[in-house]
């Protein structure tokens, strides 16, 4: 059984305690898996998640019974709940993933994004500051807050293949989602500048891999293709994104926490620029290659399913991160080529059909119909 209550941890000496927000989501759950693979029993993780539509405890089934893992169902905007966790546990690291993250949803309902992404970040910062600050205004040694953000805060790049997002690129968010993330980044920067609060920010490109909620492009296309459903493509399908395999991102986050210079921002990118339509073609070809002839789903997978739909409002044309700084200072670089990462990702979804069925039932189905029906 998952532990749902806040449990005071009898911390062994030298066992570092991580407070991970949004750890039941896509990137958060992959990060928790990565950390336990790397550190095993040397660390403790407390996972705080409100379990909204994209938070799924099935993502963490295989680690839920570990003695050094605790799940707390709480909203990051709930100051009392977050304060209680800090009061009852000596938190060494905060890794702040929790966020509303789907651009389409932000266009339909911006207020939810502002509440979770901006107010939620303010609550996390205030609670960590209260727990870690010493009477003289300095902070306890070894405490660190890592705010995980997105490359979408930088806006859109020219479609020239030459320009990139750097840490110095001015912010120019275009969607309610990216504006809320830019606001949360600015809050973290303000705490760094005002209080010398021990924090770092990472801005990452599009992640892909296991446990990704199927409203996002890659799992959506995999799932629809297997079921012979239309493959919706916004606009002309030529929008470019930089794709990063989620395990590579998890490794980058850990390296920034342990080796990054305090107060700095690091861009974490994949060097895998692809047009959306190109991604869809690669997925179709890879599925046709990987599915045995005996699998009845193989006959469903066809480029004829590609269906162009009305473009998303304010759809940025191109994102591309230059991860030069993180490579030079920390030695991180992406390890997974897209052709290998997409095969791993498809293999995972083929092996976890039940997971996909569970997450695509109910509320998601209603949302999907609302988004794409009749377009």
Structural domains in the chain, CATH included, are 16-208+244-272+320-335 (3.40.50.720)
**Cα–Cα distance between 299 and 65 in angstroms, integer?**
41
Q: Which of the following is catalytic: 75, 92, 151, 273?
A: 151
Kindly tell me if the per-residue pLDDT of 344 is higher than 90: yes
d(CA 251, CA 261): 16
Which pLDDT score, from 0 to 100, does residue 229 have? 95
**Residue of 152, 185, 242, 248 marked active site:** 152
User: How many CA atoms does the CB half-sphere of 273 hold within 13 Å?
Assistant: 17
Mean pLDDT along residues 68-91:
97
Mean pLDDT of 197-204: 98
Report which of 261, 230, 207, 225 is spatially closest to residue 369, judged by C-alpha positions: 230
Mean pLDDT of 87-100: 96
Cα 295 to Cα 44, 225, 264, 300: the distances in Å are 42, 13, 50, 10
Nearest CA to 273 out of 346, 208, 186, 338 is that of 338
pLDDT of residue 369: 61
Q: Is 151 a catalytic residue?
A: yes
Examine the residue annotation and report whether 152 is marked as an active-site residue of this protein.
Answer: yes
pLDDT at 5: 46
Where is average pLDDT lowest: 247-251, 255-259, 264-268, 317-321?
317-321
Largest CA distance in the chain: 70
Q: Which of 177, 191, 208, 234 is catalytic?
A: 177
Distance between CA atoms of 32 and 333, rounded to whole angstroms? 20
How many angstroms separate the CA atoms of 302 and 229, rounded? 10
The burial class, CB within 10 Å (0-12 / 13-18 / 19+), for 61 is exposed
How many contiguous H segments (helices) and E segments (strands) does the chain have? 13, 12
Over 80: is that where the pLDDT of 169 sits?
Answer: yes
The whole-number average pLDDT for the span 265-278 is 94
**Greater pLDDT, 218 or 3:** 218
Cβ neighbors of 290 (< 8 A, separation 6 or more) are 343, 346, 347, 350
Q: Can you tell me the distance from the alpha carbon of 297 to that of 5, in angstroms, rounded to the nearest whole number?
A: 43
d(CA 157, CA 145): 29
* pLDDT value of residue 162: 86
pLDDT above 70 covers what percent of the chain? 92
Strands 144-150 and 199-204: parallel
Q: Are 63 and 34 in contact (CB under 8 A)?
A: no
């Amino acid at each position: 059984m998952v532990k749902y209550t806040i449990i005071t941890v009898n911390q062994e000496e030298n066992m570092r305690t991580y407070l991970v927000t949004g750890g039941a989501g896509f990137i958060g759950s992959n990060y928790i898996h990565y950390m336990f693979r790397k550190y095993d029993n040397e660390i403790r993780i407390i996972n705080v998640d409100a379990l909204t539509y994209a938070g799924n405890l099935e993502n963490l089934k295989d680690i839920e019974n570990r003695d050094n893992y605790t799940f707390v169902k709480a909203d990051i905007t709930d100051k009392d709940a977050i304060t209680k966790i800090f009061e009852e546990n000596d938190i060494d690291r905060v890794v702040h993933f929790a966020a509303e993250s789907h651009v389409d949803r932000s266009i339909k309902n911006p207020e939810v994004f502002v509440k979770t992404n901006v107010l939620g970040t303010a609550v996390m910062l205030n609670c960590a500051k209260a727990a870690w600050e010493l009477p003289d205004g300095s902070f306890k040694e070894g405490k660190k807050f890592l705010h995980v953000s997105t490359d979408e805060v930088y806006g859109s790049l020219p479609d020239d293949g030459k320009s990139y997002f750097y840490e110095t690129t001015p912010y120019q968010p275009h969607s309610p989602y990216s504006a809320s993330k830019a606001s949360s980044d600015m809050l973290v920067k303000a705490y760094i500048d005002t209080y010398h609060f021990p924090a770092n920010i990472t801005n990452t490109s599009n992640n892909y891999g296991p446990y990704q909620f199927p409203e996002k492009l890659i799992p959506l296309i995999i799932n629809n293709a297997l079921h012979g459903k239309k493959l919706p493509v916004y606009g002309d399908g030529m929008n470019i994104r930089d794709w990063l395999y989620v395990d590579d991102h998890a490794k980058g986050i850990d390296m920034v926490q342990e080796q990054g210079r305090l107060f700095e921002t690091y861009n974490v990118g994949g060097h895998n620029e692809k047009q959306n339509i190109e991604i869809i073609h690669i997925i179709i070809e890879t599925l046709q290659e990987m599915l045995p002839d005996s699998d009845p789903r193989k006959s469903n997978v066809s480029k004829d399913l590609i269906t162009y739909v009305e473009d998303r409002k304010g759809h940025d044309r191109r994102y591309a991160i230059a991860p030069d700084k993180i490579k030079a200072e920390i030695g991180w670089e992406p390890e997974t080529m897209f052709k290998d990462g997409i095969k791993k990702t498809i293999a995972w979804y083929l092996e976890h059909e039940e997971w996909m069925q569970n997450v695509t039932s109910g509320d998601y189905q209603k949302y999907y119909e609302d988004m794409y029906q009749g377009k």
